[in-house]
Amino acid sequence: MSKSASNTDEFEGRVAFVSGAASGIGRAASRLFAERGARLVLADLDHEGGESAAEAIRATGAEAVFVETDVAEGEAVARAVATATERFGRLDYAYNNAGLSGPPNFVSEMPEAQWRRTIDVMLTGVFLCMKYEIPAILASGGGAIVNCASGAGLIGFPGQSAYVASKHGVIGLTRAAALEYGSQGIRVNSICPGTARTAMVEDVVRETPALQQELEGLHPIGRIAEPEEIAEAALWLCSERSSFVLGTALSVDGGYVAQ
């Protein structure tokens, strides 16, 4: 989605926090936020990728700062979120997108360490982000939070029990937070992406070329998404254009869960 096709000033003067911002959908969302006027705090465990993402935004004349962050660690998340108010004086939006991938395993074969790390990053990480984002957004007069769930948060998927459980949990956590804070001026929603053309996916496809056609076949639209297509949904849920949307789990999946 080009800048000319967007509402280029809809986030002017506002501040957004994006986790998992070093690559893929998080990096795309950060760029789109910046193009539309927001100042950015980027959080990710990938120091090199995060600094690169922040530098790319600054090269356009927008403001962005990167904070190396493991979202599974409360102190690290608190420090990253505090950067928004310390550096820019406020926090208005958050896109909690950090995630990881792991090898497929059936439940009885799942290593306990893999289960715990998946839940720690993709469910507890969302909880910790919201725990520290919410007070900052309330202090700024309200705003919006978007949590990245997945189509796997709406259905089951064999071999991915930890991932599926974490994403179902994100949707439930989102709905609870939406009911707790909607009347106080914070809209909390989630998005449920299908497969997107991220570096993570491209690495897997490079190792198993036949997987490309298989992934495309899972989506009735006949292809996988570009990261910007998913990011656009997250930005829409932050914008005033979605002002009456609260507690939803928005599928952005090319029809994957409609089958």
In whole angstroms, give the CA distance from residue 128 to residue 87. 21
Is 181 among the residues known to form the active site?
A: no
Nearest one of 67, 48, 55, 5 to 31, comparing CA atoms:
55
Query: Which CATH number goes with the domain that contains 93?
Result: 3.40.50.720
CB 179 within 8 A of CB 222: no
In a domain, 111, yes or no: yes
CB 47 within 8 A of CB 75: no
CB 15 within 8 A of CB 133: no
In a domain, 226, yes or no: yes
In a domain, 68, yes or no: yes
Given the residues 93, 163, 181, 256, the one annotated as active site:
163
Q: Worst-scoring range by mean pLDDT, 18-22, 59-63, 64-68, 205-209? A: 205-209
In a domain, 1, yes or no: no
In whole angstroms, give the CA distance from residue 122 to residue 19. 11
Q: Which residues constitute the domain of residue 113?
A: 12-252
Mean pLDDT for the chain? 94
In a domain, 198, yes or no: yes
Each residue of 164-200: pLDDT tens digit? 999 999 999 999 999 999 999 999 999 999 988 887 7
In whole angstroms, give the CA distance from residue 79 to residue 43. 10
In a domain, 113, yes or no: yes
Q: Is the per-residue pLDDT at 8 higher than 80? A: no
Q: Is the per-residue pLDDT at 161 higher than 80? A: yes
pLDDT of residue 65: 98
Average pLDDT, integer, range 42-51: 97
Nearest one of 76, 94, 67 to 187, comparing CA atoms:
94
Structure tokens at 88: 């820019």
pLDDT band (50, 70, 90) for residue 235 = very high
CA angle 240, 246, 250 (to 5 degrees): 90
The number of distinct structural domains making up the chain is: 1
In a domain, 257, yes or no: no
Nearest one of 117, 89, 97 to 13, comparing CA atoms:
89
pLDDT of residue 5: 44
In a domain, 6, yes or no: no
pLDDT of residue 2: 40
Q: Is the per-residue pLDDT at 207 higher than 80? A: no
